[in-house]
Structure 1
Amino acid sequence: MAESLAGEPAARESRQAWLALWSLLFGFFMMLVDSTIVSIATPTLMQAFEADVGEVVWVTSAYLLAYAVPLLITGRLGDRFGPKTIYLVGLTIFTLASVACGLAWSIEALIVARVVQGFGAALLTPQTMAIITRLFPPQRRGAAMGVWGATAGVATLAGPLLGGVLIDGLGWEWIFFVNAPVGVVGFIMVVRNVPALEKHAHRFDWLGVVLSAVGLFCIVFGIEEGQTYAWGHIWGPFSVWGLIITGVVVMVAFVVWQAAQKGEPLLPLQLFGDRNFAMANVSAAAMGAMITAMVFPLLLYVQNVRGLAPTQAALLTVPMALISGGLAPVVGRLIDKRDPRPIAVAGFVLLAAALVLHSALMRPGMPVLWLLVPYGLVGLAMGGIWGPLSVSATRNLPPHWAGAGSGVYNSTRQLGAVLGSASIAAVMQSRLAVNLTGAGAGAGDGHGAGVGRVPAVIAAPFTKAMSESMWFPVAAAVVGLVGALLMAPHRVAADGVGAPAGHSVAGRG
């Protein structure tokens, strides 16, 4: 099935197009599961490697950082060499790195293997969205994006559940080893079912790659390690705040360089001339931060305070995954015929309210099953968010912008996840330091407080720290709401084909 589908509009909605989509999503699901699967293993990894919260959170942050930084260029690689080829290369790297993660002998070795795994994920991810954009016409893209959004939502939420089952049954290594057979099957499915698509020549902005990588690393490392160094000096005269400011300055230089480029910038700023693309990216970044951030306080609370096993803790997320996954395809079909903006706005309002309720229910004596209520509401909200955001971001993109647009959208979503992971680590350590001061010997700095079941004397302040940490994902949900409110309404014609009121990039070269 290597024949190109370029120039064959009828084939784009054919059975082959949907078969190609499902084949791509098989590996995509596995990769996204790994963005959150480690969160359930946090207490286990802390014990196995005798590490603190900050070190173990880096197992997730290193993966997300290595995932986010290359996305701007890996989308272009798909345009240049074919999305199918780059997808298969990424899947191969990801699968081999997963095996290396399971064989890691130290926390440092695990972090390095996660970096390689994240790079493989970066090669793979933009190709899924780019192929959807090129196989499905705009007026029929909603259903496909709904399935894509459901996969993204369910995978990131199913990670803790799958991780809990594997950790309890086989050990933490198997949260990585399980990727090997899945990767092999996914490789075969893509080779058989995904067609070769038209390639577009691109030049690559290597200076942009370096600037974005350095800037992001400085910001993320500074935020995540700030509490460790008491927001003081990291190495000699180099301070945490100096590192963060350096990262911000480098990122500003990156944007200026992109605007000044006369050739092909790594980040095509023209894309942001479309209001819906710009605002959908803001909301997607907020969602990435929210999903990553909300899991850590919950799992530390229910395992370390309430004594739940990893599988029991992960079961609390089941309503969220089921409702989100079941609702997303329905919303996808709906937004083919209706304006996606009101659905996204309602989703973010419900999401913020559910997270506030979640924080309120985190109390030492509160029945754990009450947490199923806010998590069910979060799933309902997310089912109405991912599809509308992805459709709004891509609806106006012409085919030659598919790879760039997909790379930017996925970059902002993953950048949000990276910052969310780094920020929640800093927030949790800060709240632990405040709430545990004087509560028990050695507890005041917040380090080691998450290893094993916490003593009864600090259960209440530990719980309060986790409850207060939940206000960070609430803030992220509010940012997402603002982005959705600022999207342009989408006018839908009688034939179901519509156009947004905002500016479009269609037709730009």
Structure 2
Amino acid sequence: MKWGEKMVEKHANQNRWWIFTAVVLLSFMSTLTSSIVNIALPVMSRAMDVPTSQITWVASSYLIVTCMFLLPFGKMGDLFGKARVFKIGTVIFTIASLLCGFNLGFGWILLMRAVQAIGASMTLSTNAGIITETFSKQQRGLALGSFGSVVALGSIAGPGLGGLILTYLPWNYIFWVNVPVGLVAIVLGQLVLSKNEVKSKGNVDFIGMLILIITAASLFVGLILGQQVGFSSFTFVGLMIATLILLVAFRHIEMRAENPVMNFPLFHNSDFSLSLLATVLVYGINFVVNIIEPIYLEQNRLISTDLAGLILISFPIIQIVVSPFAGWLSDKFGSHVIAAISLAMLIISQVGLASVNHATSLIVLCIWLGFVGLGNGLFQAPTNVLVMNAVAKDQLGIASGLLGFSRNTGMTLGSIFANILLFGGISMNLGRPVNDYPVAQPGAFIFGMRFTFIVTTAVLAALFIAQVIVNWHRQNR
């Protein structure tokens, strides 16, 4: 081991849980701010005198810009130090959060949300890499599992915390809530994050980074516009074709680059590739559940919003509780075993949700949602460990960026396919195109919901079989 690596390891051992706290604080806020703003959009629309169709870009712009820069900043972390990129990101994110709260017009808020997203992408692309570098293999599952549970809390706490803030304070505080937490993270980061980091060598591949940023922008702008103007529109089709062309060009350039942004041979590792694919699919299916179940409870079962909220918050809470325990199990029994069990739990959850109808007991529904939370809680730690353990120390940044990119891609695709599958199933049942809840024929909704969860079951079953085959080949090599 080189002297620099020994210094990093010594520093990490002395401060590892303080380092964990600094990383988790900003990761929590970066995730929270993507969900907390949604509940404030109607209020902001009135305050800025902006139509609803336009104010949604306050949320969408954050998602798009974050995804654009996740992988480039992951590579920058490998080249110049993950802690350095993370610390700069905390400063940018905190300042932009402060500026987002000043009502200087719609253009101003969009610009500041983009700057905030750049700061967030700097933290989200390096967080898992810093934690992996900080903790030994014997503790890595526990650390990454605990990290996953806190980040998950950020994604589910947004609507509740946002509603509480809006009850007593103006919408500006939706953004200003980040500032004190950001300041704590900045100070803590300066005190505990290592200045002697393991770095990769080579020049910055500016051309590759630029093409990657444009490709991500084309993909996510296309997906979001597709939901608004239709997936058969010229805009959507054109952007998807552009994305494919850019991907081909990016691979061609990267295979010949001296120090490529994306090291494509990494994908030859089956653990790495399959775990990233699993992350996309599982996060996507989570969003399918998050979108369909509120409709089922509130419009099909006519359950009050507050009771529906209590029912739906049960499975994320289970996930948060289970994730650190799953990390310990991964350390003890191996990530492959726990990852396979997590997929089995998720398959059971989808089979159960596919059996739900008008008369299903709410207790039974909560049991199936509990399996969703259990499966997700078991999934996070082993999958993160498999991805991060598959790369060398000088590739941890790009691996961390890919994990973040996979999560965001999954959530975006899940929100799209939830509507495609649900209303496709409803349309099949009614024999005509439908794009809204069929109030006069609630049975058609049940058919569409069941159709959706049968498809998600099939997807997870195929993923489980692929994982079993890969593990069998790995053990018998």
Q: What TM-score do you get using the length of structure 2 for normalisation?
A: 0.82
Instruction: Assess if the C-alpha contact under 8 Å between 1:40 and 1:314 holds in 2.
Output: no
Moved more, 208-217 or 341-350: 208-217
Aligned partners of 1:176, 1:346: CA distance in 2, in Å? 39
Q: CA deviation at 1:212?
A: 2.5
Deviation of 1:271 after TM superposition, in Å, equals 1.5
1:254 is matched with which residue? 250
Matches within 5 A, 1:389-468: 389-424=383-418, 446=436
Query: Which amino acid is the alignment partner of residue 249 of structure 1?
Result: I
CA contact (8 A) 2:329 2:338 kept: no
1:332-411 equivalences under 5 Å are 332-358=327-353, 361=356, 371-411=365-405
Which residue number in structure 2 is paired with residue 26 of structure 1?
Answer: 25
Match of 1:493 in 2: none
> Per-residue deviation at 1:197?
3.2
Per the TM alignment, residue 184 of structure 1 is displaced from its structure 2 partner at its CA by: 1.6
Percent identity, aligned pairs only, is 24
Aligned AA for 1:63? Y
Runs of at least 5 residues in structure 1 that lack an aligned partner in the other structure: 450-454, 491-499, 504-509
Residues 98, 179 of structure 1: 8 Å contact kept: yes
1:488 equivalenced with 2:471 (yes/no): yes
Distance 2:424 2:105 in 1: 26
Q: Distance in 2 between matches of 1:338 and 1:265?
A: 36
22 and 394 in structure 1: CA distance in 2 versus 1, 3 angstrom threshold: same
Residue of structure 2 in register with 1:507 after alignment: none
Deviates more, 1:335-344 or 1:312-321: 312-321
Does structure 1 conserve the Cα–Cα contact (< 8 Å) formed by 2:8 and 2:194?
A: no
Query: Which ranges of structure 2 fall in alignment gaps of 5 or more residues?
Result: none
Alignment of 1:49-448 (within 5 A): 58-103=57-102, 111-170=110-169, 173-198=172-197, 199-226=199-226, 228-233=228-233, 238-261=234-257, 263-299=258-294, 306=302, 308-309=304-305, 313-358=308-353, 361=356, 371-424=365-418, 446=436
Q: TM-score, normalised by structure 1?
A: 0.77
Query: Does the 8 Å contact 1:74/1:122 carry over to 2?
Result: yes
Q: Distance in 2 between matches of 1:47 and 1:434?
A: 39
Provide closer, same or farther for how the CA distance between residues 292 and 165 of structure 1 changes in structure 2, counting only shifts above 3 A: farther
The alpha carbon displacement at 1:414 in A equals: 2.6
Q: Distance in 1 between matches of 2:404 and 2:385?
A: 13
Q: CA deviation at 1:284?
A: 1.5
Task: State the alpha-carbon separation in 2 of the partners of residues 185 and 277 from structure 1.
Answer: 34
**Deviations 1:288-345, CA, capped at 9 Å, x for gaps:** 3234443234445656774745x66543343223322222222212222322212212
Distance change (3 Å), C-alpha of 1:350 and 1:244: same
**Are residues 317 and 484 of structure 1, via their aligned partners in 2, closer, same or farther at CA, if it must alter by over 3 Å?**
farther
- The 2-side partners of 1:362 and 1:174 are apart by 41
Q: Tell me how many residue pairs correspond in the alignment.
A: 472
CA displacement, residues 384-432 of structure 1 (integer Å, 9 cap, x when unaligned): 1011101111224222222232223332333333333454466678789
Name the residue aligned to 1:11. 10
Instruction: Specify the SS of the correspondent of 1:203.
Output: coil
CA gap of 1:246–1:102, structure 2 versus 1, over 3 A, is same
1:266 aligned counterpart, secondary structure: coil
Note if contact 1:225-1:426 (Cα within 8 Å) is conserved in structure 2. no
Query: Equivalents in 2 of 1:349, 1:122: separation in Å?
Result: 32
Offset, 1:56: 6.5
Matched to 1:246, the amino acid is A
Contact 2:8 2:196 in 1 (8 A): no
Is the deviation greater in 379-388 or in 141-150?
A: 141-150
CA separation of 1:58 and 1:9: change in aligned 2, threshold 3 A: closer
CA contact (8 A) 2:64 2:217 kept: yes
TM-superposed CA distance for 1:268, in Å, is 0.6
Deviation at 1:267, TM superposition (A): 0.8
Does structure 2 retain, via aligned residues, the 8 Å contact 1:348–1:477?
A: yes
| Preserved contact between residue 12 and residue 194 of structure 2 (Cα < 8 Å) | no
SS in 1 for 2:332: coil
Instruction: Give the partner amino acid of 1:131.
Output: I
Aligned pair in 2 of structure 1 residues 5, 370: CA closer, same or farther (>3 Å)? farther
Q: Distance in 2 between matches of 1:243 and 1:193?
A: 44
> Retained in 2: the 8 A contact 1:164–1:313?
no
TM-superposed deviation, 1:130: 1.5
State which drifts further: 274-283 or 94-103: 94-103
